[in-house]
Structures are given as C-alpha cells and as structure tokens.
Amino acid sequence: MASGSRFFQEVELPEQKSYGHGIRFPVVLTSKLITTKEKVLEALEEAIRDEKPWLESLLRERGVILFRGFPVITPSDFNQVVEAFGYPEAFYIGGRASRTQVVGRIYTANESPLDKRIPFHHEMTYVKNFPSKLFFFCEEEPGSGGQTPIVLSHIVYEKMKKKHPEFVAKLEEHGLTYTIVTSDEDQHSSFTGRGWKSVYHTDDKKVAEERAAKLGTKLEWMENGVKTITGPLPAIRWDKESQRKTWFNNLTGPVNGDAKIYDKGTYVDLGNGETVPNDAMEDCSNILEEECAIIPWKKGDVMFVNNLTVLHSRQPLLKPPRRILASLCK
Ligand code: FE2
C-alpha cells in the first residue's frame, strides 16, 4: 500500500487490528529517509504537502494514520505538521471538554483527571459543527495506561444492527436528543466539565443563547448553570466518501443515570422521547471493546483521525506522566 509514496513506508505493529486481504487498522507510517532531525521534520512537512492526495485516500480507506518515528518533539513541531496539511481549523465552540491552547492551533486534549476513562465518541457529535479530522500528538509518553483506543464506526453500526435491529431502526428514524447540565464555570474533575461560559466563549447569557441556537441547542437556565438540550440529531450518519453508515452518536455505554460513565444530569434519549435500552448499550460497549485497536503511545507519535468514520476514547492512566495534545480541523 505504502509503495504509493516516495517518502513514507508502511510498517506493522502487533497491536493493529487485522481485517481480511491484509487490511490493517490503523495505518502506521514511518519515513524511508534516514537523515538529521531537522531535515526529517522539514522533509515530513514537504512530503505531507506533496503526497496529500495519497494520505487522504489512506485516511478515507483506513480511518486512521499513525505517524511514528518522526522527530516531532515540541508542540510547535506538531503545529507545523498540522499546518502542512492545510485544513481550516475547527473552533471548539459548543465542545464539552476542558482544553487550553498551547501554541497556534494546538490545544491540550482533555484536562479531566487522567485516571478516569473517557468513553468512545466521535468528536462533538452532539452539535452540528463537528470537526471532520483530528490530530493527536504524544508529547509525553504515558508511564502506563492512558492509551487512545480507536474503532471503525461502520463496524459498530453493522454489529449493532445485527444484534438489535429494532432499536437501530428506531435510532435511524428518530435520532437522539442530548440533555447536558452545564455549570457556570469549568469543572476540571469531569471530562465533560466545561462551564457554559467556556463552551460558548462568553459570559453574556443572551450571547450564549444565540451561539447555542446556531448549533441547534436550546438553553434552559438553572440556578448555578444551564441545561442544554440538543436534538433530535441523527444518530446514524451516511458517510459519502466510504459509502457506509456510521455509529455517529454518543451512545457508547450505559447512558441513562449511570454516573460511572456520564455525569448526573446528562442523558440521551431517542428523538421520540423513548429511553435508550440498557441491554443494547451493554452490547454496544462490548462491541467497542472487541473491535478497537489500542496502540500504546510513543513519544513523537502523531495520530491523524477521520472523525467521520472512527470513534476514539481514553483509557485510564495508571502511571504518569502523559501529555497528549490535539488539533481539530473542519
Ligand atoms: Fe475526544
């Protein structure tokens, strides 16, 4: 496959998932060149620009590209790599995670406590302006744990449809409504703990209401925060590029009233008001666990994710440090 490139070489890792005909997930690319650090970084940026159509076709077909073994050391190096792709930045308006700008278009990935798991999700499925591509960068390799599992979304859809055809038919017909209680200020203890002032980049309630409305979200003010209601939004998405249906929603585990996974006050219902059945969600969790690829982070890794076709999550960190940065693209 990687023979299509003058610069990149595809390598195999034992943790990749294998799907017939030698298709491995994710794609792992390294450099054919052996030269000095500066030259490789420069050459990487040049190769990204020159071979962008080939890289994009890989991303389309395989979902995720992991660039490994390149001298991407600092957040600025990562910023240069992202810039080389030339995609417009997706601004994080309506997003739920606490994130801080590091440099340029590079942000911390999610500042919630690293010993807590983040369930599988496509980035920002709960608003209309979700990013189509994500970049992650490993600045500090985790001591132990803290991986970012990834899974092909169409496989989750197909398996769920086989196992729960009636529920999936309802999902396709009615979509989902997301209700999320948001406090005034950021709560760093939660992975969805961004306060509404940060979510909508204002402390003016009227401005927040206008910005929320543009995202298809209604706000109901409460004493110390606001209830945000979005939907019904489609829960299954037709991906034109791959010609497949994807599990494009936040239903990736027990959702209703399970404080282990979702915060209290946050829930997801079918668009017709019906409750999402827990047995289907348990099966969904199992499918995600079975089908995901977990590649332990190595310092300098850059992971390029098609947010339209791949779900990602975060495993609890067992031993610090860990610093993963991210950049979102339209
Ligand atoms: Fe995420």
pLDDT of residue 153: 97
The encoded tokens of residue 77 equal 């190096």
CA angle 170, 174, 180 (to 5 degrees): 115
Per-residue pLDDT of 200-229, as tens digits, reads 999 999 999 999 998 889 999 998 889 999
Answer whether 329's CB lies under 8 Å from 87's CB: yes
Sole residue written with tokens 């017939």: 20
Mean pLDDT, residues 180-200: 83
How does DSSP classify residue 241?
A: T
pLDDT at 278 over 90: no
CATH superfamily membership of 2-113+129-144+294-329:
Clavaminate synthase-like (3.60.130.10)
How far, in Å, is the centroid of ligand 1 from the Cα of 327? 11
Cis omega (within 30 of 0) for bond into 26: yes
How far, in Å, is the centroid of ligand 1 from the Cα of 146? 13
CA distance 120 to 196: 23
Per-residue pLDDT of 73-122, as tens digits, reads 999 999 999 999 999 999 877 777 778 899 999 999 877 889 988 889 99
How far, in Å, is the centroid of ligand 1 from the Cα of 123? 5
- CATH 3.60.130.10-classified regions of the chain: 2-113+129-144+294-329, 153-288
CA angle 285, 290, 295 (to 5 degrees): 110
CATH of domain 153-288: 3.60.130.10
How far, in Å, is the centroid of ligand 1 from the Cα of 96? 10
Per-residue pLDDT of 106-163, as tens digits, reads 999 877 889 988 889 999 887 778 999 999 999 999 999 999 999 999 999 999 999 9
How far, in Å, is the centroid of ligand 1 from the Cα of 312? 6
How far, in Å, is the centroid of ligand 1 from the Cα of 315? 12
Query: 323 in helix, strand or coil?
Result: strand
How far, in Å, is the centroid of ligand 1 from the Cα of 178? 17
